[in-house]
Amino acid sequence: MLRLDGATVRFARRTALDAVDLEVADHETVCVLGPSGSGKSTLLRAVAGLQPLDGGRVLLDGADQSGVPVHQRGLGLMFQDHQLFPQRDVAGNVAFGLRMRGASRGEQAERVAELLDLVGLPGAGPRAVAALSGGEQQRVALARALAPSPRLLMLDEPLGQLDRTLRERLVVELRSLFGRLGTTVLAVTHDQGEAFALADRVVVMRDGRIAQSGTPLDVWQHPASAFVARFLGFENVVPATVSGETADTPWGKIPVAGGIQGAAQVLVRPSGVRLLPEADGLPCEVLARTFRGSHVSLQLRPEVGPLLEAECEFGGAPGVGEVVGVGFSARGVALLPPE
């Protein structure tokens, strides 16, 4: 449905999009995930026609969009600050795209009611936008973007302004809503939780380039690089030399499932760090112990090598200051290419 072919955008001091190739299929939800400044908003603006390309092409349903103005691309846009019109009521906001298309008053009213039901705000049409909570404004912005039945819905940090509980709830609602409507969605966010919960496919961006693309499970289980692993929140990433099924690391030799040989990096998931009696493993001092809801997360200072993040069950979690032994299980270790 959407295809970017070598899309490139250069600003005076940097290349914000560097020859990006990306496809989004009909009914697919793709989430672009990357740190601030990685080019996510520029990507959406380029697809929308708000940002001219310095190279490459944007195609929608096979048609090159160069020269096609924003309002003729058939896109629904919802940006970071949802930019509702403060002087219009909820219905006036949701009807905006329909008015632009010249829909009759009756059609507008019917569609507005339908969309407010859909986003969980039935009957909210006459309410003033300023009197809505952040979560309600977000829903209105979504209803407004969906009203003209866009062929592609684009969301820029859609839930960024909301508090965590609301965000987690809305993400689940959005996913089920997009599933029911069959909407094709391209969303961008810096929040991995949001991306992984929303997406059929996650595209990780770094400095204007695609660092990895795959299903949430793929990317989570097999990060393509140390950058992706660290961005996902994994901290135990170190250089290593691999020989057969053993990696030589700053923490000593650890077992690996095989793959890359020679120079590499290893990612040790917290679940791959096993706590043993002190004499049976790498001696580590417990620096911090954090309750996480489903487990306890430990920060360990090993006798050699950088700090280690581990996790264990509530029962028997060692206390701060205690010394434990650490072993590694190959199942919790992934090999990554050298930096």
Binding site for Mg ion (CB under 5 A): 40-41
* In the complex, least distance from residue 156 CB atom to ligand ADP, rounded to whole angstroms: 7
The listed partner (ligand ADP, Mg ion, none) that binds 212, CB under 5 to 8 Å by sort, is none
Q: Is residue 38 a contact point for ligand ADP (CB under 6 A)?
A: yes
The listed partner (Mg ion, ligand ADP, none) that binds 99, CB under 5 to 8 Å by sort, is none
Distances (CA, A) of 61 to 24, 26, 43, 65, 109: 10, 9, 18, 10, 30
Looking at residue 185, its amino acid is V
Of the residues 5, 37, 260, 295, which one makes contact with ligand ADP according to CB under 6 A: 37
Kind of pairing between the strands at 15-24 and 2-10: antiparallel
Tokens of 189: 């966010």
Site residues (CB under 6 A) for ligand ADP, limited to 106-135: none
Q: Is residue 101 a contact point for ligand ADP (CB under 6 A)?
A: no
The listed partner (Mg ion, ligand ADP, none) that binds 16, CB under 5 to 8 Å by sort, is ligand ADP
Of the residues 16, 145, 153, 300, which one makes contact with ligand ADP according to CB under 6 A: 16
**How many amino acids of this chain bind ligand ADP (CB under 6 A)?**
11
Tokens of 326: 């650490």
Of the residues 20, 29, 30, 41, which one makes contact with ligand ADP according to CB under 6 A: 41
Nearer to ligand ADP, 39 or 223 (CB): 39
Q: Is residue 185 a contact point for ligand ADP (CB under 6 A)?
A: no
d(CA 166, CA 112): 24
Q: Is residue 42 a contact point for ligand ADP (CB under 6 A)?
A: yes
Neighbours of 167 (CB within 10 A): 20
Of the residues 22, 29, 39, 183, which one makes contact with ligand ADP according to CB under 6 A: 39
Nearer to Mg ion, 40 or 144 (CB): 40
**Binding window for ligand ADP (CB under 6 A); candidates: 29-37, 88-96, 251-259, 316-324:** 29-37
Nearer to ligand ADP, 32 or 124 (CB): 32
d(CA 174, CA 167): 10
**Binding window for ligand ADP (CB under 6 A); candidates: 11-19, 159-167, 225-233, 325-333:** 11-19
DSSP letters for 156-188: ESTTTTS-HHHHHHHHHHHHHHHHHHT--EEEE
* In the complex, least distance from residue 196 CB atom to Mg ion, rounded to whole angstroms: 18
Nearer to ligand ADP, 38 or 93 (CB): 38
Task: Tell me how many degrees the CA angle 15-18-24 measures, rounded to the nearest 5.
Answer: 135
CB 140 within 8 A of CB 132: yes
Neighbours of 291 (CB within 10 A): 10
Nearer to ligand ADP, 11 or 85 (CB): 11
Q: Is residue 52 a contact point for ligand ADP (CB under 6 A)?
A: no
Residue spans of alpha helices (H) in the chain: 40-48, 90-94, 96-100, 105-118, 134-146, 164-181, 192-198, 216-221, 226-231
* In the complex, least distance from residue 5 CB atom to Mg ion, rounded to whole angstroms: 22
Q: Classify residue 66 by burial, with Cβ atoms within 10 Å: 0-12, 13-18, 19+.
A: exposed
**Binding window for ligand ADP (CB under 6 A); candidates: 34-42, 235-243, 279-287, 318-326:** 34-42
CB 142 within 8 A of CB 78: yes
Kind of pairing between the strands at 273-276 and 262-268: unpaired
**Which stretches of the chain bind ligand ADP, using CB under 6 A?**
11, 14, 16, 34, 36-42
